[in-house]
């Protein structure tokens, strides 16, 4: 498919690195592609970043048929690189499947993304820990009030510079084990990166924040016993010499950082398992002195060490509130590969 390109005539002023934060600034260009039943995916174009107007009746506004992705471009020794972009677009297609959205061509999406990032390569910041955040998403654009899968869609990619997630190095966070609300259930949308999952998580997150916690730890939606994820990250525990993360069960989002951590840990010859794990087991391991560390994994923060867990008003401190050894090695190695400071034996890094 042809990719049309229209460059901006009014380049924006780029923000200073120290005020970047996350998700506040957007680069000069965006990618858009339309879908209709008669033409399929068509009219792929890179155009200046701007407002888009829609009829108030488009279906995404009413029935939430929306999915997204999140990945980053890094400035690495003067070059611009992406981290496993194929994984993101394959996962986008899995989300398409879950929400009755027509799939996209993975290779065409990667090529278009490379072109978009190339055009805005000056927007990729180069201070330590900064990157260009990339947000691909698909929304239902058929103007129709009535519930059925939309017959029109738009696939859009926007990008923007983001700051270092941790300003003073990686900090352990305080986690609330959620008992009242659930994020997802097997048979629902949990394993799709659907906007709806985020809508469903807001109330729990807000109440946890009011109590002084950074994130919630989600338990399974049926028995409220088994661990699923932490906030918008996958979660790992170090129990004695076993490193364990909940097995993908249909309601857990299959994170690419999770997958990369598993591959790294296995390549180091460590004892890693993906299995069912109850919150009870974590507390028992803690009592026996076997709970060494816990951490979340996701594109935004990479590794987020858990310093404190609170379940049923019982709070426990992990790794003395410090960053554990495994968390630290994973953070250093993953970011090392992403910024091309350490070797990439897996071929994860893709040059733009």
Ligand X SMILES: *Cc1c(COP(=O)(O)O)cnc(C)c1O
Summarize as ranges the residues that interact with ligand X (CB under 6 A). Answer: 70, 193, 197, 229, 232-234, 253, 255-258, 297-299
Q: In the numeric block, which tokens belong to residue 117? A: 């990032």
Contact 172, 307 (CB under 8 A): yes
- Residue 77 burial class via C-beta count within 10 angstroms: exposed 0-12, middle 13-18, buried 19 and up: exposed
Q: Where are the alpha helices (DSSP H) in 137-278?
A: 195-210, 256-267
- Residue 317 burial class via C-beta count within 10 angstroms: exposed 0-12, middle 13-18, buried 19 and up: middle
Contact 80, 124 (CB under 8 A): yes
Nearest to 302 by CA among 329, 270, 283: 329
CA distance 44 to 3: 5
By three-state DSSP, how is residue 335 classified? Answer: helix
Distances in Å between the Cα of 142 and the Cα atoms of 5, 53, 253 are 25, 13, 28
Share in percent of the chain as helix, strand, coil (round to 5) = 25, 35, 40
Contact 113, 82 (CB under 8 A): yes
Q: For the CB of residue 102, give the shortest distance to ligand X in the complex, in Å.
A: 22
By three-state DSSP, how is residue 246 classified? Answer: strand
Q: For the CB of residue 254, give the shortest distance to ligand X in the complex, in Å.
A: 8
């Amino acid at each position: 498919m042809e990719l049309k390109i229209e460059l901006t005539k009014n380049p924006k002023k780029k923000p200073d690195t120290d005020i970047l934060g996350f998700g506040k600034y957007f680069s000069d260009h965006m990618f858009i592609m339309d879908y209709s039943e008669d033409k399929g995916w068509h009219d792929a174009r890179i155009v200046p970043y701007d407002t888009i107007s829609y009829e108030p009746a488009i279906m995404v506004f009413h029935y939430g048929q929306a999915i997204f992705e999140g990945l980053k471009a890094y400035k690495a020794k003067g070059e611009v690189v992406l981290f496993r972009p194929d994984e993101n677009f394959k996962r986008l297609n899995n989300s398409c499947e879950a929400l009755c959205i027509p799939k996209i061509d993975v290779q065409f999406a990667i090529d278009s993304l490379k072109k978009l990032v190339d055009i805005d390569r000056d927007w990729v910041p180069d201070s330590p820990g900064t990157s260009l955040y990339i947000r691909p998403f698909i929304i239902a654009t058929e103007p129709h009030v009535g519930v059925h899968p939309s017959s029109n869609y738009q696939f859009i990619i926007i990008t923007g510079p983001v700051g270092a997630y941790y300003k003073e190095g990686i900090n352990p966070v305080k986690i609330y084990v959620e008992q009242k609300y659930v994020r997802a259930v097997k048979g629902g949308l949990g394993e799709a990166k659907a906007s709806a999952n985020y809508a469903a998580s807001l109330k729990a997150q807000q109440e946890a924040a009011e109590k002084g916690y950074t994130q919630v730890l989600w338990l399974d939606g049926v028995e409220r016993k088994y661990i699923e994820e932490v906030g918008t990250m996958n979660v790992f525990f170090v129990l004695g010499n076993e490193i364990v993360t909940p097995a993908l069960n249909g309601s857990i989002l299959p994170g690419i950082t999770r997958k990369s951590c598993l591959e790294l840990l296995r390549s180091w010859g460590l004892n890693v398992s993906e299995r069912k794990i109850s919150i009870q087991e974590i507390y028992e391991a803690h009592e026996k002195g076997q709970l060494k560390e816990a951490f979340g994994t996701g594109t935004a923060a990479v590794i987020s060490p858990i310093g404190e867990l609170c379940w049923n008003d019982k709070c426990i401190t992990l790794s003395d509130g410090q960053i554990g050894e495994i968390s630290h090695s994973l953070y250093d190695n993953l970011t090392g590969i992403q910024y091309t400071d350490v070797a990439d034996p897996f071929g994860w890094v893709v040059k733009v």
